[in-house]
Amino acid sequence: MTAVSSPMSVSRGAGAPVARRKLLDELTERILAHIRDEGLRPGDRLPSNRALSERFLVATPTLREALRRLEATGAVELRHGSGVYVRADLARLIMVNPNRLRLDATAILDLLEARELIEPHLAESAARHATDAQLDELAASLDRAGSALGVGGGPGERSGPGAGPDGALHAANMAFHRTLARLAGNRALAQVLDSLIDLHDEEQRYIQALYGDRDHDHHVHLAILAAVRGRAPVKARRLMVEHLRDVRQVVTRALEG
Amino acid sequence: MTAVSSPMSVSRGAGAPVARRKLLDELTERILAHIRDEGLRPGDRLPSNRALSERFLVATPTLREALRRLEATGAVELRHGSGVYVRADLARLIMVNPNRLRLDATAILDLLEARELIEPHLAESAARHATDAQLDELAASLDRAGSALGVGGGPGERSGPGAGPDGALHAANMAFHRTLARLAGNRALAQVLDSLIDLHDEEQRYIQALYGDRDHDHHVHLAILAAVRGRAPVKARRLMVEHLRDVRQVVTRALEG
């Protein structure tokens, strides 16, 4: 461990708490600036803790605290024995509150109503703006959903919430909604939708597994894909409106039940 | 300083970084649980660091790191010499990425387009659902804007971006938009709008001060208030659509200029 003493190091005197906060604020800023200036991308590894400590003239424990803070806010991932990696979430403008409370029923319905406002607009825009490569990506999410459902193979394996096949199906279905949002071409709205889905993802998976109609949802997703691929914005919007209304009815029944 | 030694304290051996992360994750969770269990509200003060260290059986530096992390994620505010206070942001589901990069022109226009999708819906809902007390709050934001403009008093003081009167006017105008969003009754959408405004607040203030028409904006805000107060949802929606289109045109000109 290389603990470099420097003007940025912190004394242990009476003012230490404030000085340390300022030091950490500055240090996280400098680490972020390093990521930007070096053009590091999601998945890229930062220099070693030792190299960063020497570059920024701080002791290793201070550097580690700054990195833990950047991990807590989604900017990097600390992999034990491997290093520190840039996370895709660093590029986000909007994120889910890491300290959020559990959702109550009203909050879940608010999230669904927000999706009902935003997603039809996104489906319509995607039908206008998506490139062929993007449409292939969208189709791939539904291929994965089809595999998880056992479509075209043997009978689909069905099991309770949290089990393997349901987990894969839910992940593929949510990837469909998230990818469609990206295809619409507005980064802010795509991130808003990502956050809304992140927020109720767990409840949604549970409710759909218990109360949802998996095959029906899959066919509706395929119809939306076909409308987007066929450059039919009005139809894509309408199908999404109907789909999300169905989802809300399922969730409302589940919450009342 | 009371450094309580306990099973939760961390060794300085080879596994220390991982153990310390887990300890900090658990400690922040327990501090949040304490806030919930005690029913602490925004502005309420947490027990002293010494009391918290003793309650959670951790050393004071560890507690401080957990509190700094909670501060970095918007849950609490550390006031030097005074204590640790709960922040209103703790109740948010969605927040702005504290590590976000600077916005480019595309990002600013994406944010405005997102507002054009969301805010007319919120204006319409507010006209249907707002209570009289909420409408008074909405009107108060425009009273503050009027004062900052010098409406009804002497000639309004005009000065460059960042100066006092402009800052007060901008804050009052943004309070109008945020309050209207809250009146619509969907917590998720109100928080989405809060985040969108937070994101481009600084650029928006600058652009409006240089390129905007303050008096025109104020009159449009008053017209929206009148429509919401008069329970005219369709009119409230239409006025908001037109208002945000104007705002986008001003911003587009500013970004191109």
Q: What is the pLDDT, as a whole number, of residue A15?
A: 54
CB atoms within 10 A of CB A112: 21
CA dist B172 and B178 (Å) reads 10
Interchain pair A107, B100: CB under 8 A = no
Tell me whether B72 touches chain A (CB under 8 Å): yes
DSSP structure class, residue B10 = -
Q: What is the pLDDT, as a whole number, of residue B204?
A: 86
Tell me whether B110 touches chain A (CB under 8 Å): yes
What Cα–Cα distance (Å) separates residue B84 from each residue in A223, B31, B34? 53, 11, 13
Q: Is the Cβ–Cβ distance between A119 and B194 less than 8 Å?
A: no
What Cα–Cα distance (Å) separates residue A221 from each residue in A148, A195, A242? 14, 21, 11
pLDDT at B165 over 70: no
Q: What is the pLDDT, as a whole number, of residue A102?
A: 83
Interchain pair A74, B92: CB under 8 A = no
Name the one residue in this structure whose structure tokens are 């600390």. Answer: A78
Contacts of residue B118 in chain A, CB cutoff 8 Å? 117-118
pLDDT at B155 over 80: no
Q: Measure B75 CA to nearest chain A CA, in Å.
A: 7
CA dist A49 and A65 (Å) reads 11
Q: Is the Cβ–Cβ distance between A76 and A67 less than 8 Å?
A: yes
Considering only the beta carbons, identify the residue of A21, A110, A188 that sits closest to B187: A110
What residues contact A128, with CB distance under 8 A and at least 6 apart?
A: A231, A233
Q: Of chain A residues 163-202, which have a CB less than 8 A from chain B? A: 186-189, 192, 195-196, 199
Q: Of chain B residues 129-148, which have a CB less than 8 A from chain A? A: none
Q: What is the pLDDT, as a whole number, of residue B1?
A: 36
Q: Burial letters for B142-170: b for 16+ Cβ neighbours within 10 Å, e otherwise?
A: bebbbbbbeeeeeeeeeeeeeeebbebbb
Tokens coding B138: 């909405």
Q: Which of the two residues, A94 and B166, has the higher pLDDT score?
A: A94
pLDDT, tens digit, 9 for 90 and up, residues B126-139: 999 999 999 999 99
Tell me whether A155 touches chain B (CB under 8 Å): no
Tokens coding B238: 């239409």
Topology of domain A16-91, CATH: Arc Repressor Mutant, subunit A (1.10.10)
Which of A122-136, B130-144, B201-215, B223-237 is predicted least confidently? B201-215
Tell me whether B232 touches chain A (CB under 8 Å): no
Interchain pair B107, A78: CB under 8 A = no
CA dist B202 and B103 (Å) reads 10
CB atoms within 10 A of CB B44: 12
Interchain pair B110, A186: CB under 8 A = yes
Q: Which of the two residues, B196 and B17, has the higher pLDDT score?
A: B196
pLDDT at B43 over 70: yes
The mean pLDDT value for B103-126 works out to: 96
What Cα–Cα distance (Å) separates residue B242 from each residue in A183, B128, B217, B223? 27, 20, 11, 12
Q: State the amino acid at position A205 in one-letter form.
A: R
Contacts of residue A124 in chain B, CB cutoff 8 Å? none
The mean pLDDT value for B191-198 works out to: 96
Domain with CATH 1.20.120.530 in chain B: 105-256
Helices (H), strands (E): how many in chain B? 9, 3
- Give me the count of residues in chain B: 257
> Could you read off the pLDDT tens digit of each residue along chain A, which spans 257 residues?
333 334 444 444 445 677 888 999 999 999 999 999 999 999 999 999 999 999 999 999 999 999 999 999 999 999 988 899 999 999 999 999 999 888 899 999 999 999 999 999 999 999 999 999 999 999 999 999 999 998 644 444 444 444 456 889 999 999 999 999 999 999 999 999 999 999 999 888 888 888 889 999 999 999 999 999 999 999 999 999 999 999 999 999 988 87
pLDDT at B12 over 80: no
Which among A81, A70, A60, A58 has a CA at the least distance from the CA of A32?
Answer: A70
Residue of A nearest to B80 (CA): A18
- Band of residue B5 on the pLDDT scale cut at 50, 70, 90: very low
Supply the ipTM of this predicted assembly.
0.86
| The CATH number of the domain covering residues in A105-256 | 1.20.120.530
Q: What is the pLDDT, as a whole number, of residue A211?
A: 84
Contacts of residue A188 in chain B, CB cutoff 8 Å? 107, 110-111, 113-114, 196, 199
Which of A18-27, A157-166, B12-21, B174-183 is predicted least confidently? A157-166
Q: What is the pLDDT, as a whole number, of residue A151?
A: 65
Q: Which of the two residues, A218 and B157, has the higher pLDDT score?
A: A218
CA dist B41 and B88 (Å) reads 8
| CA-based torsion, A158, A164, A165, A166: positive or negative | positive
Which among A101, A41, A100 has a CA at the least distance from the CA of A76?
Answer: A41
HEC assignment per residue over A127-193: HHHCCHHHHHHHHHHHHHHHHHHCCCCCCCCCCCCCCHHHHHHHHHHHHHHHHHHHHCCCHHHHHHH
The mean pLDDT value for B139-166 works out to: 70
CB atoms within 10 A of CB B232: 16
Tokens coding A143: 């291929």
- Band of residue B144 on the pLDDT scale cut at 50, 70, 90: very high
Q: Measure B71 CA to nearest chain A CA, in Å.
A: 10
Q: Is the Cβ–Cβ distance between B98 and A72 less than 8 Å?
A: no
Q: What is the pLDDT, as a whole number, of residue B159?
A: 45
Considering only the beta carbons, identify the residue of A73, A80, A196 that sits closest to B73: A73
Helices (H), strands (E): how many in chain A? 9, 3
Considering only the beta carbons, identify the residue of A68, A75, A106 that sits closest to B24: A68
The mean pLDDT value for B78-82 works out to: 89
* B interface test, pick of A65, A182, A192 with most B CB neighbours within 10 Å: A192
Q: What is the pLDDT, as a whole number, of residue B46?
A: 97
- Helix orientation angle between B16-37 and A60-72, rounded to the nearest 10 degrees: 50
Residue of B nearest to A102 (CA): B93
pLDDT at B212 over 90: no
Tell me whether A251 touches chain B (CB under 8 Å): no
- Band of residue B164 on the pLDDT scale cut at 50, 70, 90: low
Q: What is the pLDDT, as a whole number, of residue B154?
A: 42
- Give me the count of residues in chain A: 257
Q: Is the Cβ–Cβ distance between A233 and A127 less than 8 Å?
A: yes
Q: Is the Cβ–Cβ distance between A165 and A151 less than 8 Å?
A: no
Domain with CATH 1.10.10.10 in chain A: 16-91
